[in-house]
Chain A
Amino acid sequence: MKLKTISAILLMFALLTGFNSVKADSDFDKAILKGKKTLKEGMDKSDEVILKKARGQFERILQLKQQPWLVNYYIALADYGLATTGMVKEDKETIKKYTESGINVINKSIDENPEFCDSYVLLESLNFNRWQYEQEKMQEIIAATQSADAQAKKLDAENPRYVLVTGISQFYTPEAFGGGIKMAIPTLEKSSELFKTRKEKSELYPDWGYDMALGYLALSLLKRNDDGDLSKAEVLIVEALKINPDSGFISGYVQKEYKTASAESK
């Protein structure tokens, strides 16, 4: 009897614990997905208020004490978005404030899970922001970005976001400095191809970038402007808007560039 009782209690305890953890996971998943939704909206609209709201949502999720590295990843991503709003306003204080916060938070995330490739991609991008307000630390910034790049490549060279960031970097870097559209186009094509077949391990994981890869590829083609590039760019823009109809980048910037290029070619 005694053994039965103990077994029953243990079973009940296990069930209860299991149930609770399932419930907690569910709460966590729901909260993460909800935060991702807000973050996407903030980034699509480049809206500071919505981005702050998203940041707050993820901060609150930390209270659940589950996968803090993932939650911190999203907080850092929100910081990155907020730093971007500073760039649009040419407000260096905002860029610095959120870039530094983002670097701190993503470093925390990396400490908690050093095997997540996307964290290094974000760390690399955040470090690039530092050019905006501390150019004098050129050597340090180069070392930091190179180090993050190497680590991301080592963990998952086929991560389409890693390839995308490399492609964007090449897009903006002059040929004399080892960049240019000749290099960017194949890289962005590779990123787009990788996105096609990419399936994240969990829907909770970051999945951004496909529309951007297409958008940047379109911009590269517009810049190259060889025969047929214009129509290829148009196809890419349509495809990108199918993937993310709310993308301010595609509808507000890439499409505009396409229209300008079209008008010039007539």
Chain B
Amino acid sequence: MKLFFILFITLTFLVQIGITFSQVSDSAETSQFTIISGKVTGEKNEVLSGANLVIEGTIDGATSDEKGLYEFETEKTGQANLIVTSLDYATKNIPIDILPGQKMVLNVKLTKTEIKTDEILVTASSFTSGNNNAVTLTPLEIVRIPGADADLYRAITTFPGSNQVNEGSRITVRGGNPNEVLTIVDMASLYNPFIFDETFNTSSYSTINPWGLKGINFTSGGFSAKYGNVLSAVLDLKSYDMPQGSGMFAWLGLANASLSGVYLSDNRKIGATFTAGKLFLEPFFAINGKHSEYSPIPQSNQLGGTLSFTLGKTGNLKMYGNYSDDKVGIKNAGPTYDGFFEGSSKNYFSNIKLTTAPSVSTLLSVGGSFSLNENNSKYGVLNTTEKNIYSKGRAEYTLQLNNKTDINTGLEYEYNEYDITGTVPLFSYNLALNAPSLTLDTNSNSGRLGAYLEAQIRLTDDLFVIPGVRTDYHSLSSKASFDPRISFGYLIKQNHTVRGAFGLYHQYPSLLDYSRSRENELKPESALHYILGYEFNNDNKIIFRVEGYYKDYSDLVLFNRANFFYGSEGDGNVKGVDVFFKTKISNKFTGWISYAYSDSKRRQFDAQILAPSNYDITNNMSIVGSYNLSDKIVLGLSYKLSTGKPYTPVSGSTFDSTMNVYVPIYSEINSGRFPTYDRLDMNAQYIFSLFGKFAVGVLAVNNIFNKDNLYDYTYNSDYSTQLPIYTNNKRTLYVGLGLQL
């Protein structure tokens, strides 16, 4: 690619040259003219060169020079409007009274257009990509992170504070549960952008294409009031409103193939994108071997796309649709059943969004989305089909009050329906085919109405504050929540920023939890976030961050042993420190080191005393490096080391003669820990030309040292022997080829 840069450096350095013009003589001016002169500066009195000044309706004006000075003559007299413009600064209109033959001196001060209270700049705990100065993650890096398999979520777990669930794409943040992380795409909530999400010992993958994203903002706490019904973290993704051209990209790998394309109409008013992909693991297993017995082997299909229309001068209508399915059967030998776990799922997601700017200082977005996730699980007596439906309508409005304050407000209504049918074991420890079971056929639904109001205020040049409030009302429980939140960013001096956030966050329990409560009386789970951090960012050449946090949970769902219902008596807390260091050395090397310390304890679900939460990973470190060996070859290495996650050991058993099975006796909840997790991955990318088109070849080796990392423990039939179940992510080789068509 470098060649292209050099190319266009010169190309430009020359396009110049070309213009052959006719000679035009400047007309002499007369003494009747008024001379207007002055100086143009910015807010801090810095000189602004290249600012343009013009008297409205004429071409009388000037451009400020290197010292910010300007001077021009005009024959216009009387009342007039002087328009002053400069790139990156707000246009200024100055009414003036021009007296003929006079000399007028007019100094002009301009202010920056873009309000600096960018969420990215201010929000604590954020890792971002997009057009801002605090970018910490780019789509290219996502694709190049070894072991991340070009998966956005896996890439995010190389940053501090988040962890993979079973080496898959589901993530947990700061010790929270996976369902406490919300993904937003173009304002729509995306609850299940995964395949193999609920499958035994099969890592999940996300269905989001990182190349289609214009902006990525992942925040692991202290987020804005516009995000509702989420306790731990938000991944806010923005896709392109309109493709910027037309083209296609094909991918063929050892385990998958895909075809994607973008289209932009000649008049550039209509755009479309599509992606179709298929997973086929036969060649992959032939090379790498199988570490489990499968029937069927994992398979998946995906089809998605967008359709965009430009409406008027500022409007954009975008429709998004995605479908995916997966299927797998995997052998598991449990204490009461030895057979295949069979799982399959189907996901539909669609979204429509209309954005328009009613005026130069306002932006309005409205939209609606629908998603359906159907999940089938079968193992022994367990045989269920679950359906989760979400539909959401929302509107957001932004008003730029002045160059120091933006106001954001929004309203949303979300409908959720949950169905479960089939049979579940009456006793969780007995999964035998003839075990006592319950037949389920239940349906529940609820609505949630949410609203927020938020201001982004630049109090001084260096201090930005975002206060906000939101409220939500849940129809099933008839409970409302009210969340005040505030975050700030303070630029101590150039490159040095302090950020902090404090706020209240609520999330309503799942409909399944409500079904186990008495008269749907569960309160929304609540967390108070306290975050304070420091960042050094030297134009993204060096980024260093350290951030401390504390979260105080209350009203967590807790099993009440007295009445056997779920209640809201749970509580907990998490405290920790995240450290992040990233460096970029010329265009050759990019790398980062993340370290997170976390201590997360909860009384939640079956944990009657404060115990480590399910994803309490005390120490977690990631090291990622990418080196451009040449213009064509990039090498990457990634290493992850973390404390094993907690689990609840079985300490003994009793024999149940009626069912003819042993009943496990459990130790204290989460009193055991898996062994330390570690894994080293590498990859190499080779960029070359194939049939005169750009092509990229990828070679990846995951888990180079073939470490046996633990997925779970199982037991023999009387629970006297604990047996490890290792993950299927042993050392694997993957090759793939992408071609720009």
A residues apposed to B, CB below 8 Å = 27, 30-31, 33-34, 36-37, 39-40, 42-44, 46, 49, 52-53, 55-57, 59-61, 63-64, 77, 80-81, 83-84, 87-88, 97-98, 101, 107, 110-111, 114, 125, 127-129, 131-132, 135-140, 142-148, 150-151, 154, 161, 165, 168-169, 171-174, 176-178, 203, 206-212, 215-216, 243-244, 247-250, 253
Contacts and interface: CB of A to CB of B under 8 A. Distances in A.
Nearest to A54: B63
Nearest to A58: B52
A211 B20 CA distance: 9
B17 A135 contact: no
Contacts of A207: 18-21
Contacts of A154: 266
A128 B62 contact: no
B18 A139 contact: no
A49 B266 CA distance: 36
A212 B247 contact: no
Contacts of B16: 42-44, 46, 81, 84, 248-249
Nearest to B62: A56
A43 to B, nearest CB: 3
A100 to B, nearest CB: 8
B262 A143 contact: yes
Given A52-B49, A142-B694, A211-B18, A128 B4 contact: yes
Contacts of B694: 138, 142, 177
Contact of B87 (A81, A101, A150, A210): A101
Contacts of A131: 1, 4-5, 8
Secondary structure of the A contact surface, majority rule = helix
Contacts of A83: 12
A59 B7 contact: no
Interface of B: 1, 3-24, 26, 49-54, 56-63, 65-66, 85, 87-88, 138-141, 211, 240, 243-247, 249, 262, 264, 266-268, 587, 688-689, 692-694, 740
B19 A43 contact: yes
Contacts of B60: 60
A257 B11 CA distance: 16
13 contacts: A34-B26, A36-B19, A42-B16, A49-B65, A56-B63, A110-B268, A131-B4, A144-B245, A169-B11, A171-B7, A173-B7, A208-B20, A211-B17
B264 A139 contact: no
B140 A136 contact: yes
Contacts of A177: 3, 688-689, 692, 694
Contacts of A114: 266-268
A128 B60 CA distance: 35
Given A56-B63, A63-B59, A97-B87, A172 B4 contact: yes
A43 B17 contact: yes
B12 A148 contact: no
Task: Please name the 5 residue pairs, one residue from A and one from B, whose CB atoms are nearest each other, closest first.
Answer: A43-B16, A208-B18, A172-B7, A56-B63, A147-B245
Contact of B245 (A44, A145, A178, A211): A145
A139 B20 CA distance: 35
Contact of B52 (A44, A59, A77): A59
A176 B3 CA distance: 12
Most buried by B among A138, A143, A207: A143
A178 B693 CA distance: 7
Contacts of B693: 178
A178 B692 contact: yes
Given A56-B63, A168-B10, A178-B692, 17 more contacts: A33-B21, A37-B22, A43-B15, A61-B59, A81-B16, A83-B12, A132-B9, A137-B139, A138-B1, A140-B244, A142-B740, A161-B18, A177-B688, A178-B689, A206-B19, A211-B18, A212-B18
Given A97-B87, A128-B4, A57 B63 contact: yes
A139 B22 contact: no
A148 to B, nearest CB: 7
Nearest to B267: A114
Nearest to B248: A143
Nearest to A128: B8
B56 A250 contact: no
Contact of B24 (A37, A44, A97, A107): A37
B14 A135 contact: no
Contacts of B7: 128, 168-169, 171-173
Nearest to A121: B15
Contacts of A212: 14-15, 17-18
Nearest to A47: B16
B6 A125 contact: no
A228 B62 CA distance: 51
A106 to B, nearest CB: 12
Given A34-B24, A49-B66, A136-B140, A147 B264 contact: yes
A253 B268 CA distance: 38
B24 A30 contact: yes
B140 A165 contact: no
Nearest to A164: B18
Contacts of A178: 689, 692-693
Most buried by A among B14, B23, B62: B14
A83 B688 CA distance: 28
A39 B361 CA distance: 33
B309 to A, nearest CB: 14
A84 B12 contact: yes
Contacts of B53: 56
Contacts of A144: 244-245
A52 B24 CA distance: 19
A37 to B, nearest CB: 5
A197 to B, nearest CB: 15
Most buried by B among A60, A129, A145, A151: A60
A60 to B, nearest CB: 4
A249 B23 contact: no
Contact of A143 (B21, B57, B246): B246
A264 to B, nearest CB: 21
Given A53-B63, A250-B17, A143 B24 contact: no
Given A173-B3, A211-B17, A250-B17, A87 B52 contact: no
Contacts of A211: 17-18, 20
